[in-house]
């Protein structure tokens, strides 16, 4: 007597084939590349105008709704308010974000210069970048003048 195949048997075989394929596909895939380690000295990216707005909005929302513990509610309310604001109302946040972006660009340039120069980015390095260009040039001229004086003494 022949056994009649039922639909359940057919679907089990299909499932077994699929699971066998998935296992072999996983084994054949290359392992994921590891992410490069983040440099803790690298300056953080500046917030966008929306995030500058949200800093202020969170404080005011928390004062109005002290019992609210949900982060998503604050985010939704902030997003709705941001969407309803006109461009004129957004101007102070946009200008502050632009200012933060220019500061970030300066810090990043300093960081990149130090990285290419082999030095590490530290708080002490910022003092040199804060000098005005005239002060830096004055220091170089003094050094050149002292070198010339040394050369003249050696010639005598």
Quote the Cα angle for 126-127-132, to 5°: 110
CA distance 56 to 62: 10
The b/e string for 109-119 (b: 16+ C-beta within 10 A; e otherwise) is: ebbeebeeeee
Taking only the tens place, the pLDDT of each residue in 52-64 is 999 999 999 999 9
Taking only the tens place, the pLDDT of each residue in 120-129 is 545 444 444 4
The residue written with tokens 């970030």 in the block is 104
State residue 116's pLDDT score: 87
Q: Rounded mean pLDDT of 78-91? A: 96
- pLDDT band at 33; cut points 50, 70, 90: confident
Taking only the tens place, the pLDDT of each residue in 118-153 is 655 454 444 444 444 445 455 444 444 544 445 444
């Amino acid at each position: 007597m022949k056994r009649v195949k039922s639909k359940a048997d057919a679907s089990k075989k299909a499932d077994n084939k699929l699971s066998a394929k998935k296992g072999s596909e996983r084994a054949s895939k290359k392992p994921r590349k590891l992410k490069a380690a983040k440099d803790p000295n690298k300056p953080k990216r500046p917030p966008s105008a929306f995030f500058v707005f949200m800093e202020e909005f969170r404080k005011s929302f928390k004062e109005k709704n002290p019992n609210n513990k949900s982060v998503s509610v604050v985010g939704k309310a902030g997003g709705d308010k941001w969407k309803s604001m006109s461009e004129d109302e957004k101007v102070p946040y946009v200008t502050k974000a632009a200012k933060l972006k220019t500061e970030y660009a300066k810090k990043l340039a300093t960081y990149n210069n130090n990285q290419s120069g082999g030095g590490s980015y530290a708080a002490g390095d910022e003092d040199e970048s804060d000098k005005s260009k005239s002060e830096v040039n004055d220091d170089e001229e003094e050094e050149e003048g002292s070198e010339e004086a040394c050369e003249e003494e050696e010639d005598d």
